[in-house]
Amino acid sequence: MIEQFKGKTALITGGMGFIGSNLAIKLAELGAKVTILDAMIPDYGGNVYNVTESDRIRINFCDIRDQQAVNWLVRDQDFVFHLAGQVCHLMSLSNPFPDIEMNITGTAIVMEALRKHNPKAILVNAGTRGQYGPAVSFPVNEEAPTNPKGIYEISNLTAEKIIKVYNDVHGIRSVNLRLSNLYGPRSQMMHSRFGVFNWFIRLAMDDETIQLFGDGSILRDFVYVDDCIDAILRVATTPECYGEIFNVGSDKPITFRELCDTIVRVAKSGRWEFAEFSAERKAQEPGDFYSDISKIERFTGWRPTTELEDGIKKTIDYYSTCRDHYWTKPEKTATAKTAEKLTTATKR
Amino acid sequence: MIEQFKGKTALITGGMGFIGSNLAIKLAELGAKVTILDAMIPDYGGNVYNVTESDRIRINFCDIRDQQAVNWLVRDQDFVFHLAGQVCHLMSLSNPFPDIEMNITGTAIVMEALRKHNPKAILVNAGTRGQYGPAVSFPVNEEAPTNPKGIYEISNLTAEKIIKVYNDVHGIRSVNLRLSNLYGPRSQMMHSRFGVFNWFIRLAMDDETIQLFGDGSILRDFVYVDDCIDAILRVATTPECYGEIFNVGSDKPITFRELCDTIVRVAKSGRWEFAEFSAERKAQEPGDFYSDISKIERFTGWRPTTELEDGIKKTIDYYSTCRDHYWTKPEKTATAKTAEKLTTATKR
């Protein structure tokens, strides 16, 4: 892999975020010159602590919708890793426009920039397994129907189709990935809206109680972020992958109950309990999901190699050294809790 | 049908265009109060000659992307017929943004307006058979894969998926149609970019030569606009249709060669000849297409009833009485042709 990226240039949109920052660090290790584009929108995934600028990594703050800046930044890049976007699948229920603007228009801006200013670049796009919508059979392969139940998922599916058209019609080589639920270091830990795995880790580390919605039997295929980075780098450097769509998941699905048990066991703190689905979450919950990952293995030899316990341990180790950069347990929370307890006591 | 629409209110987005104006006139005949929204973008389908304001038809000029105006206009409407959009499937090859803004964002603006200001309205959306992309088997039914080859078609597919989410998640009842190639009165006749059938009629009426790309053997299912209006009105008033997707096409596909023969015969003028595909058209040409229309027939009893010759005759009769409102044969065209001939002669 070192030979493939040494001296190469790469633009990472959304590079201050979870996947983008891990990718930037890995690419720099492999000898690439990385440019990060990130809008640092509050409450999104970007965190300045995730990546440090260096002679290998340059950070350019701007929005993916900034057409002139994107036109400029794509020039002379060997690779473009397109990770910027609105990634909360609940927001679109009350406001569909950020998804459309960032995920659809933003993607079109990147593709037009490549068509006009750097048609030889290779683009890898991070889509989501949410694009499938409710699974009709398992494991879900790339030919499965795509009937997503939310604007967020629709916007990702549209981005994928736009990228495919630029591949087929304009010759901009690209690979579209559909990522399952990821976890690991450098994910934002302020809220649970981008995925619950890392949120559960935070709760366990803080010795809090994890609320497990439903009966905990829903199956998911979780992927440790380093495995995902490996998949991204492999498809980027395998010409047979250009123009293709690949699932990036795990063929060892586990239940949320198993997940919580493992997190609490590895963290040696926290606990979990069952909780009722909120109506909002229930409406968006697509049920069991696990990917058929035989296609990407066939094309690139990729398989996830991180065992669940190891991944959780690495994640906890990371945040243990730098928790304050990702979340705090401010005094007022403790105060609020005390107040709540007093109120409850009074009510009794 | 009169009972279903008498005294009802209806908003037609894109109501000055081909389908919208025919629909507005029909709804007014049936006793509905119609509001037309149209941006009258030059070179698009709107034509002020198509519809005359009356006590039954009110025209409101504004863009589908004008959020405040759309919020206002959807109030108190029993039905919304959503026909506004960028409809040229070639434009998106050089500029994807009008499709995204008008067809995706514009649709989201209409759906958000309904969610917030009139959630009881029933919406009918006019999508396109182009959403399927190249057909994998015939006739094409609503379960066929959707892998379109252009941004225009992707934007329509995305609009459909957005509308479906508002039906399923927010309870805004709607019907999505996928229209085959339409023809008939009130289509713009300035250029061939929205479809060639009406363009061929113009050429025949002007005693010009129709250029038939390829070998003329490609199959299509053409629909006369009045049949399409009938389908739109039926699905709007059939509650079983809400939340469903329907093809609107014909089960009697014909070749382009048969089409040209029939047009020239009915017009009693013009002629046709074979021509080479341009590279641009070839890249976008999805080959044979004809719809399976059994689903809409099962739900509503709809079938196209206009024979090809009758439809062509009615179309020619319409434009014969008002040709100048749709196209002219300006002097300068003749001059330009003479100049071209002279240049060619000089080059020899």
The answer to whether the CB of A241 falls within 8 A of the CB of A299 is yes
CATH for A2-188+222-250+290-305 is 3.40.50.720
Contacts of A104 in chain B (CB under 8 A): 100, 104, 158
- Using DSSP's 3-state secondary structure scheme, residue A315 falls into helix
Show the tokens assigned to A325. Answer: 């950069």
| Least confident interval from A321-335, B110-124, B327-341 | B327-341
Task: Please give the Cα distance from B73 to B109 (Å, whole number).
Answer: 12
Beta bridge partners, B79, equal B10, B122
pLDDT over 50 at B292, yes or no: yes
pLDDT over 90 at A151, yes or no: yes
Contacts of B161 in chain A (CB under 8 A): 147-148, 154, 157
DSSP B16: T
Q: What is the pLDDT of residue A128?
A: 96
pLDDT over 50 at A335, yes or no: no
Q: Which of B93, B108, B168 sits opposite A100 (nearest CB)?
A: B108
Q: Which of B100, B150, B162 sits opposite A151 (nearest CB)?
A: B162
Contacts of B155 in chain A (CB under 8 A): 158
A65 touches B at CB < 8 Å? no
The answer to whether the CB of B48 falls within 8 A of the CB of B89 is no
B169 touches A at CB < 8 Å? yes
pLDDT > 70 in chain A, percent: 93
| Least confident interval from A85-89, A329-333, B106-110, B150-154 | A329-333
pTM: 0.91
Q: What is the pLDDT of residue A342?
A: 44
Task: Please give the Cα distance from B182 to B160 (Å, whole number).
Answer: 19
Q: Which of A108, A112, A151 sits opposite B165 (nearest CB)?
A: A151
Strand ranges, E, within B217-289: 219-220, 222-224, 245-248, 254-255, 271-275
Q: What is the mean pLDDT of chain A?
A: 93
A162 touches B at CB < 8 Å? yes
Average pLDDT value for residue range B27-50: 96
Average pLDDT value for residue range A156-177: 97
The answer to whether the CB of A130 falls within 8 A of the CB of A150 is yes
Average pLDDT value for residue range B336-343: 46
Higher pLDDT, B192 or B237: B237
Q: What is the pLDDT of residue A216?
A: 92
Q: Binning pLDDT at 50, 70 and 90, where does residue A90 land?
A: confident
Q: What is the pLDDT of residue A329?
A: 67
Average pLDDT value for residue range B82-89: 92
Beta bridge partners, A57, equal A34
CB contact under 8 A, B165 and A158: no
Q: Binning pLDDT at 50, 70 and 90, where does residue B287 land?
A: confident
Q: What is the pLDDT of residue B329?
A: 66
Cβ contacts of A88 within 8 Å, gap of 6 or more: A152, A193, A194
Q: Binning pLDDT at 50, 70 and 90, where does residue A346 land?
A: very low
pLDDT over 70 at A333, yes or no: no
Q: What is the pLDDT of residue B342?
A: 45
CB contact under 8 A, A104 and B108: no
**In CATH, B2-188+222-251+290-306 is 3.40.50.720:** yes
Residue B55 exposed, middle or buried by CB count within 10 Å (0-12, 13-18, 19+): exposed
B150 touches A at CB < 8 Å? yes
A157 touches B at CB < 8 Å? yes
CB contact under 8 A, A105 and B97: yes
Show the tokens assigned to A24. Answer: 């930037």
- A64 half-sphere exposure, CB direction, 13 A CA radius: 30
CB contact under 8 A, B169 and A283: yes
A193-238 pLDDT, tens digit per residue, is: 888 999 999 999 999 999 998 889 999 999 999 999 999 999 999 9
- Residue tagged 């689903």 (tokens): B295
Contacts of A101 in chain B (CB under 8 A): 105
pLDDT over 60 at A347, yes or no: no
Pick left, alpha or beta for residue B136 (phi over 0 → left; psi -120 to 50 → alpha; otherwise beta).
Answer: alpha
Number of CB pairs, chain A paired with chain B, less than 8 A apart: 67
A163 touches B at CB < 8 Å? no
Q: What is the pLDDT of residue A339?
A: 45
Show the tokens assigned to B33. Answer: 């109060």
ipTM: 0.89
Q: Binning pLDDT at 50, 70 and 90, where does residue B284 land?
A: low
Q: Which of A96, A108, A112 sits opposite B162 (nearest CB)?
A: A96
- In Å, how far is B106's CA from the nearest CA of chain A? 10
Q: Which of B101, B112, B148 sits opposite A96 (nearest CB)?
A: B112
Q: Binning pLDDT at 50, 70 and 90, where does residue B213 land?
A: confident
- Residue A134 vs residues A93, A285, A290, A325, B158: alpha-carbon distances, Å: 17, 8, 11, 36, 18
Residue B318 exposed, middle or buried by CB count within 10 Å (0-12, 13-18, 19+): middle
B152 is a catalytic site residue = yes
pLDDT over 50 at A326, yes or no: yes
B165 touches A at CB < 8 Å? yes
Bond prior to A330 in cis (omega within 30° of 0): no
Task: Please give the Cα distance from B28 to B23 (Å, whole number).
Answer: 9
Higher pLDDT, A344 or A19: A19
Q: Binning pLDDT at 50, 70 and 90, where does residue B278 land?
A: confident
